[in-house]
Structure 1
Amino acid sequence: MLRLTNRLAIVPAVLWLLTIALAGAGRCDGIVTGGLDELVTGEVLGPNLLVNGDLHAGLKGWTLVDPACFSLDGSGSNASLRMQLPCGQQYPYAENAAQCPTGMYTISADIKTQNTIPPRVRAGARVRLLQVAQHKWAFTKAVSGTTDWATSEKAHVQVVDGSVGVFRAEALGEVTGTSWFKNFFVRRENPPALDTFLLYPNYRGLMFSDQSQVARVAIEVNPPENTTMAQLHVGLDLTDAAGKVLSTQKLSPPADGSMVATVDMTSLPPGKYRVQGYLEGPGNKRILTQSSYTIAKVGGATHDTMKAWIDENNIIHMGGKPRFVIGIYDTTGFANRASYFAPRLEAIAKAPINMMINYFLSNGKAEVIYPYTEAMAPLGIYYLASVNAFFPEMKPYPRWARISGVGPDEVITQYAKALAGDSHVVGYYTCDECASEVQPRTFHQYSLIKQNDPGSITFAVENLPGEYKYWRDTVDVLGVDPYVIGSTKDMSNVGDVTRKIISAVHDARPVWVVIQFFRATMLSHFPTEQELHDMSWMAITEGARGVFYWSYGLRGLDWGKRDPVLRQQRYDELVNVTKGISALEPVLLAPDRPILSANSASGAVITKEKDLMDGSRYLISYNHSGSNVDASFTLRRPAHAVLVEGENRSVTPEPGGAEFKDTYAPFQAHVYKID
């Protein structure tokens, strides 16, 4: 997402303490949650792949774009690469001879600087892995003002199929002065010998008594060096709160190393339990014990006391009923009265929005949010409080906390305690396109939120496909924001990344997709109503349990505020699209059931099938290709009529009713009601 600057007043501390006390009423204090207990044992780094990465052989293996920009400083173990700016190049770099094939990597270098950087400019020295062919890249944070050596590192750098990674040392921005690099590394990230992921319970480890009592664990085994799959087995222990082992399974992994284990907990009383996997090799020698998960068995009535919760079908419940999420990002200012917010929220509510995020309220304390949610309540809108990047070194860290020296743990604890009693604050927006480097701290933040507001949810949006899986136990709902208009001509990328992120969580966590509702550049265009429709239904077809739109305010819809007629026209188009989605909410909440026996355009036309208990059928679909496609669908049982939802037309079934045909424009989505 695009970053916004917050400008909120600091509300008096007395009012802050008073609101904490008032908000405590009605909190779900008795709820005990679980989930992943500690960070998993992750990838094992391989050897350095760079040619002469430590510069012990001078500049062998390095290509300098201009000798006036780079030179060798020192020799042997004291050698470093010196970058002197300005020089004859606008974008100076030194490139290593190594080429990195498809895979995941960690890149790093030690850097020190003596340079001058213009104010308010992100600039400095860094290293980067560039994907030749794909023209994508990942880089370390730019270093500046460090007069002593500091290690700069970036993990989970992905080189995708069809490309090759090229390593560079370079400058970012308008930098003058001298920078030095040494100890360059590019290391492949090899998967851990054992990876476990709790598929169910899928929400905070909560196993409600009115849902399945069988836990499911995804297991992946990667044989260590000098071992074979046949020599390995996986142990899975179930223990009680006191650490007593209640059961142990010994599993032999299949040839591909992937399997799903089940743990039947039906006979166990309510309480906390722990599931933990470990890998054993020859002679039953333990190779790796992976991080454990806590499962909390609770009564079915527990979820009735929660502001929000997620059921076993990855559907969120809020306001006492299941919902398909239709959300929007807003950039309203702040006030201490609901009447200030009401007109704007009423304008937003012309679309059937049921969830909202607002960056501009994240710089104040909780009492700034109360009048906002008070104005939302009559409109049926719920709120995710933004705690995005609440880390002291980051710009979004609340100003009041920075000034008063309050640490991040105390900020999150106070925030969650104060908002736990607000029934319309259903959760927290914890990361907006955060780098994987902050995932461990966000995981810790999540534990504080679960402790202080257990009846809530957390949501984060990530935009790097190679990093999706690292967030799967760090939030309750994972999101992605494929902004394609102005960045690519292939709108099917919306469907592709939705599919990738759902795969990363094994379809065992909800995924919400953020749809582009802004003009990316002056050379691009604002999404049309047809594009909003197609992108939204692409995400839904691929399995999204909610859609958000960025954004109602700055850098979004308000780019057209100089023309109020155009601004309203654009929002009316979103209203039309979201009303079409909302009208089919019961269909979207129903489980998928097959209705087709054949799809002539399979591969090009992607489908989701719904066979409802009342006998009605729906086919949700989109054209993945950039060409026109004619498709013929064969039904499992005949149809009398086929209505194309939202298009004011119908399709006549072929004689006998077992087949119907339709045409798709490039990337077009159709939703059919089949009677």
Structure 2
Amino acid sequence: MYPTGVKGTRDWTQISDVAAIPANAGSCSLSCYVRPGMTGTAWFDDISVVRVVEPALRSVLTAPVYRGRITADGPRLIRARVWVDLRDHDVQAQDVQVTGRLSGVADGKPHGVVTQQPKTDQGTIAPLTLELPTDRLPTGDYRLDIELVRTGGRVISTVSHRLTRLADNDQPKCTIDEHRRLLVDGKPFFPLGMYWTDIQENDLKLYAESKFNCLMPYGSPSRPQMDLAHKHGLKVIYSLKHWYAGSPECPPFIRSAADEEPLIRGRVREMRDHPALLAWYLNDELPQRFLAQLEAHQRWVAEEDRDHPTWVALYQVNEVGSYLNTFDVIGTDPYPIPRSPASMAAAWTATTFREVEGARPMWQVPQLHNWANYARSEKERKQGRTPTTEEVRSMAWQCITEGATGLVFYSWFDVKQNPDVPFDKQWSGLKELAAEIDRMAPMILSTDPVPQPGVKVNDGRPPAWLHWLARSHRGSLYLFAVNDGDGAGRITFRLPGAAARVRELSTNTIVPHDGPNFTVQLDRLEVRLYQIELR
């Protein structure tokens, strides 16, 4: 957590923030400091740490995964994951129950009730899953009220979720399906893009020569700039991330939270029908003290635009669960090189997936930049370096094998200014990577069932440095395997049946196999993409 500090000559200024401490933390520290390179004198006084009372009840919809929407394709069950926390409440688990009630918004008509008793596991209250069927729900809006009720009927806490049963012929332009895939005009779409500062046509022409299909410009584009993106066949993730009163980059004409709503709603109405629009970018790493504003922005955008999801990026990877009501799609931004191992990409993606209970799409943000571009001292500048082509490829595939359904790299403007690698060299490698991911996108996003009993690695004991994903597509089995750089060795894959042929796609080589098994050497950072024909 890094609260916004002060610069210049200022009177006493209160600085505060909210952070979640991991449950397994042994200790934590608070540091008051001045950034390297700054001069002057700083005074700190009245430092305090206050424990925030945790809510007794917390819940997330795990089905449906997108804005509570139920379609003809599902889900067949509404699922809500529920956590009960009684540490700050004078009651025991055996004295409460959790009840979920589904009712119509317009008429209040009940459509189902489910009740469960919380259970403890080694002194901790285990999470609950509430389920209600959707097969008989008519078109309309619904409300799922989840109550924590004490013996005797007193309600301790309530959490509500809004749901909508869409008409069978209702197909939003961009939506998220139950497999966490973005659908554009009804077809699966893998967002493959980069962060930009602003849209310039010369850059767009160059960028459009690649298989990158979208961009996220920090400067909220004008309509002519959106037209340029559309002209070059590119989609835009539109940034609204600056418009939070009290945030470091908030424009001066936003002085309070009340100023935000007309601006957000107005801009969404202005741009929501543009053919280049892919999604809305609502948050760039704002801390938890902005949660109320973040939730409001999510609500306003969803009310104004039913056709495009929202996306946010956070470095607060262990706090993502606290932000669940502020986005439709999540991204976290592991930037390890050179200070940490490249395996940070897989670790952060896996943690993010757990934080959202596997129930939200992830468009991850892999590193392209040299940290020297952001150095505040000569020492920092000398310590930086640009990730190698091998590191970038490994980090991208680490994210994909751990569940990402989109990648937005950081950043185009860094690729143009990284001091240690010529632009043409890095851009050439990135174009190759984009082309590779684009070729594999139909397989990555495929929902065809993998033949049972699935794929096993090293008899069920895969090394920690291996990350892999199996997919079926048009009768073939595809296996994506990546080494995160923390080790190397031989890997034996056991397939769900005897193989007729195993082909490694990036090298177009046939791999020897023995019935359902094949063994390969996977060196540090190496990526292997296999197409397998089963007998």
**TM-score calculated relative to the size of structure 2:** 0.88
| Alignment partner, residue 481 of structure 2 | 621
- Is 1:377 aligned to 2:230, yes or no? yes
Identify which of 151, 155, 161 aligns with 1:282: 151
Flag the structure with higher strand content. 1
Structure 1 pair 228–407 and aligned structure 2 pair: CA distance change class (3 A): closer
Structure 1 pair 198–395 and aligned structure 2 pair: CA distance change class (3 A): same
In 1, are the aligned partners of 2:114 and 2:131 still within 8 Å (CA)? no
SS at match of 2:17: strand
| Alignment partner, residue 152 of structure 1 | 15
Identify which of 130, 150, 153 aligns with 1:261: 130
Return the letter of the residue paired with 2:169. Answer: A
Return the letter of the residue paired with 2:143. Answer: R
Distance across 1 between alignment mates of 2:405 and 2:477: 19
| Alignment partner, residue 228 of structure 1 | 92
In 2, are the aligned partners of 1:561 and 1:567 still within 8 Å (CA)? no
Return the letter of the residue paired with 1:296. Answer: T
Identify which of 414, 425, 431 aligns with 1:575: 431
Shift of 1:430: 0.9
Query: How is 1:337-348 mapped onto 2 (pairs within 5 angstroms)?
Result: 341=201, 343-348=202-207
- Is 1:503 aligned to 2:372, yes or no? no
| Alignment partner, residue 667 of structure 1 | 525
Identify which of 443, 466, 469 aligns with 2:318: 466
Structure 1 pair 212–140 and aligned structure 2 pair: CA distance change class (3 A): closer
Q: Which moved more, 1:569-578 or 1:221-230?
A: 221-230
| Alignment partner, residue 377 of structure 2 | none
| Alignment partner, residue 302 of structure 2 | 450
SS at match of 2:348: helix
In 1, are the aligned partners of 2:81 and 2:128 still within 8 Å (CA)? yes
SS at match of 1:181: coil
Distance across 2 between alignment mates of 1:163 and 1:373: 49
Identify which of 58, 67, 79 aligns with 1:204: 67
Q: Which moved more, 1:497-506 or 1:218-227?
A: 218-227
Identify which of 370, 381, 394 aligns with 1:534: 394
Shift of 1:244: 4.3
Structure 1, unmatched stretches of 5+, are: 1-137, 335-340, 363-367
| Alignment partner, residue 328 of structure 1 | 194
Structure 1 pair 321–568 and aligned structure 2 pair: CA distance change class (3 A): same
Shift of 1:325: 1.5
Shift of 1:151: 4.6
Deviations 1:600-656 (A, max 9, x none): 5513222211133x32111112234522221111122011222222134332113xx
Shift of 1:170: 5.2
Shift of 1:185: 3.1
Distance across 2 between alignment mates of 1:599 and 1:372: 52
Distance across 2 between alignment mates of 1:562 and 1:497: 27
Identify which of 299, 302, 312 aligns with 2:167: 299
Shift of 1:248: 2.5
Task: Report how many aligned residue pairs link the two structures.
Answer: 510
Shift of 1:147: 4.5
| Alignment partner, residue 66 of structure 1 | none
Return the letter of the residue paired with 2:148. Answer: L
Distance across 1 between alignment mates of 2:292 and 2:238: 20
In 1, are the aligned partners of 2:321 and 2:355 still within 8 Å (CA)? yes
SS at match of 2:270: helix
Deviations 1:473-528 (A, max 9, x none): 2111000111111221x111100100111111111110011111121224332222
Distance across 1 between alignment mates of 2:251 and 2:5: 24
Return the letter of the residue paired with 2:362. Answer: V
| Alignment partner, residue 506 of structure 2 | 646
In 2, are the aligned partners of 1:142 and 1:172 still within 8 Å (CA)? no
In 1, are the aligned partners of 2:102 and 2:110 still within 8 Å (CA)? yes
Deviations 1:39-79 (A, max 9, x none): xxxxxxxxxxxxxxxxxxxxxxxxxxxxxxxxxxxxxxxxx
Runs of 4+ off more than 6 Å: none
Distance across 1 between alignment mates of 2:185 and 2:205: 19
Structure 1 pair 220–603 and aligned structure 2 pair: CA distance change class (3 A): farther
**TM-score calculated relative to the size of structure 1:** 0.70
- Is 1:219 aligned to 2:82, yes or no? yes
SS at match of 1:540: helix
Shift of 1:187: 3.8
Shift of 1:196: 1.2
Deviations 1:335-357 (A, max 9, x none): xxxxxx2x422211222122211
Return the letter of the residue paired with 2:21. Answer: Q
Identify which of 237, 249, 252 aligns with 2:117: 252
Distance across 1 between alignment mates of 2:226 and 2:178: 28
In 1, are the aligned partners of 2:99 and 2:114 still within 8 Å (CA)? yes
In 1, are the aligned partners of 2:104 and 2:110 still within 8 Å (CA)? yes
SS at match of 2:175: strand
Structure 1 pair 651–220 and aligned structure 2 pair: CA distance change class (3 A): same
Bigger Rg, structure 1 or 2:
1
In 1, are the aligned partners of 2:386 and 2:420 still within 8 Å (CA)? no
In 2, are the aligned partners of 1:328 and 1:549 still within 8 Å (CA)? yes
Distance across 1 between alignment mates of 2:362 and 2:384: 28
Shift of 1:378: 4.7
Shift of 1:309: 0.8
Percent of pairs with identical residues = 21
Identify which of 242, 251, 255 aligns with 1:389: 242
Shift of 1:172: 5.8
SS at match of 2:352: helix
Return the letter of the residue paired with 1:325. Answer: P
Query: How is 1:22-421 mapped onto 2 (pairs within 5 angstroms)?
Result: 138-142=1-5, 147=11, 151-158=14-21, 161=24, 164-169=27-32, 174=38, 176=40, 179=43, 181-182=45-46, 184-189=47-52, 191-224=54-87, 227-241=91-105, 242-256=107-121, 257-290=126-159, 292-303=160-171, 306-333=172-199, 341=201, 343-360=202-219, 362=220, 369-394=222-247, 396-398=249-251, 401=253, 407-421=259-273
Structure 2, unmatched stretches of 5+, are: 373-380
Return the letter of the residue paired with 1:443. Answer: E
Distance across 2 between alignment mates of 1:159 and 1:247: 36
Deviations 1:322-341 (A, max 9, x none): 1112111223456xxxxxx2
Identify which of 436, 447, 467 aligns with 1:606: 467
Distance across 2 between alignment mates of 1:189 and 1:406: 26
Distance across 1 between alignment mates of 2:389 and 2:199: 28
